[in-house]
Amino acid sequence: MHCPFCRHPDSRVVDSRTTDDGASIRRRRQCPDCGRRFTTVETASLMVIKRSGVTEPFSRNKVIAGVRKACQGRPVTEDALAQLGQRVEEAVRATGSAELSTHDVGLAILGPLQDLDLVAYLRFASVYRAFDSLEDFDRAITELREQLPPTTPGGLDEDLGVPAPAAATD
């Protein structure tokens, strides 16, 4: 590969090491012309098969863009989105598959997104799982309630703006 400093068409590998998680290799390279050093990172290519049958390289940015849409108006920071993107990428790479469907990527998003923001999770799940009725939302919310401790601070009722049940008036 060419030198990023002087565009010399060749470079020499001076050191190679596998990253701790084993998912990539970092190589230190030196330009024989200007002598400067730079690092390259090699990862296995991970392809995503879209519903149309078209394949494209897995993109952490696309994951984040999709989740950002679901997080509109929610108190979710760009940092948190970036971390979610990293968790999703680690999860899909950990499967060891070279090819995934968009469905697999969606599945990998659901867990981290549920930890991040319940409302965004429901929005995302409604698209991903093709909710088409209130009953679908109702079922998903019931599932969430069953997973959550009953008095989660800032829990689902508060997040959804559902008023607490009125005290009995009789």
Check residue 8 for interaction with Zn ion (CB under 5 A).
yes
Cα gap 164→28, rounded to integer Å:
59
- Closest distance of CB 66 from Zn ion, Å: 39
Task: Please report, to the nearest 10 degrees, the dihedral formed by the alpha carbons of residues 159, 160, 161, 165 taken in order.
Answer: -100
Number of residues that bind Zn ion (CB under 5 A): 7
- Closest distance of CB 140 from Zn ion, Å: 55
Cα gap 55→20, rounded to integer Å:
29
Binding mask 15-54 for Zn ion (x = CB under 5 A): ----------------x-xx--------------------
31/64 with CB nearer Zn ion: 31
- Closest distance of CB 9 from Zn ion, Å: 10
Outline where the chain has alpha helix (H): 60-70, 78-94, 102-116, 118-128, 134-147, 156-160
C-beta neighbour count of 124 within 10 angstroms: 21
33/90 with CB nearer Zn ion: 33
Residues that bind Zn ion (CB under 5 A): 3, 5-6, 8, 31, 33-34
